Structure 1
Amino acid sequence: MEFEEYVSARGQELVRLGFTVSGDYQRAEDLAQIALMQAFRKWRKVRDADDPHHYVRRILVNEYLSMTRRRSFSEAPTADLDPQHTVPDHATGIAVSDDLWQALATLSARERVVLVLRYYQDLDDQTIADLLGIKPSSVRATTSRALASLRKARTSHRVNEGLK
C-alpha cells in the first residue's frame, strides 16, 4: 500500500480518533496531520509493519499524550462541535452528548485515551497496551478507574439536578 492510498483509506478515521480523545476538531486535525507526517517520514517501515494502521494510531495517541504533558495544552476538551466538520458515525451521536463530554473532561488524558481505544475503537487490552507501551493489567486498571470516575460524575450530576 502506498502512502497516498493509506491516507485516502484511513485519514478521516484518524481525525475521528483525534477528535474523540481530544474533544476538539482543530486539535484532532492537527493530531492526524502530525501522525501522518511522522508516518510519511518512515513510510517503508510503517508499510512493512504487521499492521500499518496500528502503527499510525500509536503515533497519534502518543502525540496526544505528549501534548497533554506540555504546559501549553492544559485546557480540557471543549467539544465545540461544528456540524460541517463532523463525520456521520453511529458512535458520534452518543459521544457528542454534552454530559458525556463534561464527564470525559474530568478524566486524565490517559484514562480518556484508554476508554476511547476500548469503546470507540473496540480494541482489546493487549492492543491498547501495545499502543500505549504499558501492561494489559494497567489497561484494565485504568479502564476501571475511569469508569468509576464517570459513574461518580453521573451520580453527582443526578443529585445536583434533583436539587434544582
Structure 2
Amino acid sequence: MRRAEPLSREPGLPGVDDFDEFVTGRGRALLKFAYVLSGDAHLAEDLVQEVLARLHRRWDRIAAMDHVEAYVRTAIVRQFLSWRRRRAYREAVLAEVPEPAPSDAPEHRVVARDQMWTLLRGLPRAQRAVLVLRFYCDLPDEEIAALLGCGKSTVRSQATRALAQMRTTLSQRGAGGDG
C-alpha cells in the first residue's frame, strides 16, 4: 500500500476558506483515504460525498478551525464506522488468492496487494480503521484515539487483535486452509 498524502496540520491550508477550492485541491486525497479505509471505490465515493455534503452547510465555521483536513478525515472515519453504513456496506467476495509468484517477479507485488486487501476486508471495521490510520496515515496512537473517540489502550488492543487475526488467516492459508 502506498502511504497517504500527509495530513494537513497547518492552519491556512490553501483554498480552505472556499469549499469548492478545498474539494478541488484535496478531494482526490480524501477519496484515496476513504478507499483505503473501505476497500471499495464506490463506497469511498459515497463516504466522501456524504461527508462533504454534510460539512458544506457549515463550511464557514469549519474553515475557521485549525486542521480542517484532519477534521474532514475524522468525519469520513466516523461515517465509515457508523451503523447506518454497516447495513449498506457490501463486502466483495473474492475467489481464492492464487499461489504467489516468485518474489523477484513483478506480479508478486500485485498478489501481495490483493492478499492485503483480502486480509483487511476480513477485519471488523474498527480494527480496519485503526490499521489504516496507523499504517497508511502514519498517525500515532494518541491521534488515532482522538479520531475514533476512544482511549490509547483501545487503539493498541484493536491493532494487536487485527494483526493477530491477519497472521492467523495467513498461516491458515499457508497450511492449506480455506482462509
Report the CA distance between 1:105 and its aligned residue.
1.6
Q: Which residue of 1 aligns with 2:68?
A: 52
Letter in 2 for 1:125: D
Q: 1:137 to 1:77 in 2, by over 3 A?
A: farther
User: TM-score normalised to the size of structure 1?
Assistant: 0.81
Q: How many residues align?
A: 148
Alpha-carbon separation, structure 1, partners of 2:65 and 2:24: 19
Runs ≥4 residues deviating over 3 A: 67-70, 93-96
Q: Could you report, residue by residue, the CA deviation over 1:92-113 in whole angstroms, capped at 9, with x for unpaired residues? A: x779722111111211001001
- CA gap of 1:65–1:94, structure 2 versus 1, over 3 A, is farther
User: For the residues of structure 2 that align with 1:95 and 1:133, how far apart are their CA atoms?
Assistant: 35
Task: Please identify, of 93-102 and 110-119, the stretch whose mean Cα deviation from structure 2 is larger.
Answer: 93-102
Residue 76 (structure 1) aligned with residue 85 (structure 2): no
Root-mean-square deviation (Å): 2.4
The reply on whether 1:99 has 2:119 as its aligned counterpart is no
Give the 5 Å matches for 1:1-40.
Answer: 1=16, 2-40=18-56
Select the structure that is richer in helix. Answer: 1
CA 1:76 to 1:112, structure 2 compared with 1: closer, same or farther past 3 Å? same
Aligned to 1:119: 135
1:153 and 2:169 equivalent? Answer: yes
Rg comparison, structure with higher value: 2
Structure 2: stretches of 5+ with no match in the other structure: 1-15, 95-108
Preserved contact between residue 141 and residue 155 of structure 2 (Cα < 8 Å): yes
Percent identity reads 37
Contact 1:46 1:52 in 2 (8 A): yes
Closer, same or farther in 2 for the Cα pair 1:107/1:9, shift >3 Å?
Answer: same
Matched residue SS, 2:175: helix
Distance 1:44 1:52 in 2: 11
Q: Which runs of 5+ in 1 are unaligned?
A: 80-92
